């Protein structure tokens, strides 16, 4: 059974049987990923945790509706994004908050183990380079690189086109290569190669041969 089938089975158990064990498994499966996503927007451990818990509380309260959701994973990310924005709107006492207004935060500790062997100086340079990206570009980078989401999934979560995802990735790679130019060419080439390979794989999943 692949991951999507497993999620579908959990969803069915929760929706049809009010299965608390299945709900707990779904929660544990997604909490860390959704927490990191919420934290990148809210910059607060407390509020990020509250936002994700709000999402799951809503899932449980409206569990009978799960059968109408085609892609539960995307639904959870979209719900977490919207809930995080609602928190920001409350902080700012404004009616609406858009992604372009959000100061997305990225931490190098969230990056995949591929960079674990780099020195602290190199890791700091990477983190600073990523945090110089525009908010939406940074969030696309995080979702593709850290969360490992497909381009189509990211497009649905952020409500933008796959071509726009391509543009954000191109912008990220270009800006990172400029900022990282002070590193040794070997380090820079390795970092960019890893990024490009990950993004290529994600893009290839959109229209598999």
Question: CB under 8 Å to 124, separation ≥6 — which residues?
Answer: 108
Structure tokens at 175: 């800006």
Choose among 129, 208, 115, 204: nearest CA to 173: 129
Structure tokens at 127: 């983190």
Q: What is the 3-state secondary structure (H, E, C) of 111-132?
A: CCHHHCCCCHHHHHHHHHHHHC
| pTM of model > 0.75 | no
Tokens 């600073």 label which residue? 128
Domains of the chain from N-terminus onward: 3-99 (1.10.1740.10), 104-204 (1.10.10.10)
Question: CB under 8 Å to 22, separation ≥6 — which residues?
Answer: 9, 10, 13, 14
Question: CB under 8 Å to 5, separation ≥6 — which residues?
Answer: none
Cα gap 158→134, rounded to integer Å: 14
pLDDT for residue 207: 45
Cα gap 132→172, rounded to integer Å: 10
| Residue ranges of the chain with per-residue pLDDT less than 70 | 1-2, 92-119, 122, 146, 179-209
Cα gap 39→33, rounded to integer Å: 10
Number of H helices, E strands in the chain: 9, 0
pLDDT for residue 53: 97
Choose among 156, 129, 132: nearest CA to 143: 156
Cα gap 51→43, rounded to integer Å: 12
């Amino acid at each position: 059974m692949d991951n999507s089938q497993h999620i579908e089975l959990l969803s069915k158990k929760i929706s049809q049987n009010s299965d608390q064990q299945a709900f707990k498994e779904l929660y544990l499966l997604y909490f860390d990923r959704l927490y990191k996503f919420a934290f990148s927007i809210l910059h607060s451990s407390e509020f990020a945790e509250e936002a994700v818990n709000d999402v799951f509380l809503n899932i449980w309260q409206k569990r009978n509706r799960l059968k109408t959701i085609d892609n539960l994973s995307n639904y959870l990310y979209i719900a977490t994004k919207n809930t995080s924005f609602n928190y920001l709107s409350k902080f700012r006492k404004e009616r609406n908050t858009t992604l372009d207004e959000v100061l997305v935060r990225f931490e190098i500790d969230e990056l995949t183990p591929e960079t674990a062997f780099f020195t602290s100086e190199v890791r700091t340079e990477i983190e600073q380079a990523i945090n110089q990206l525009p908010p939406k570009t940074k969030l696309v980078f995080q979702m593709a690189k850290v969360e490992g989401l497909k381009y189509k999934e990211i497009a649905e979560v952020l409500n933008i086109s796959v071509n726009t995802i391509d543009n954000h990735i191109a912008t990220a790679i270009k800006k990172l290569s400029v900022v990282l130019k002070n590193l040794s060419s070997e380090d820079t080439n390795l970092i960019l190669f890893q990024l490009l390979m990950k993004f290529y794989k994600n893009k290839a999943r959109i229209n598999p041969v």
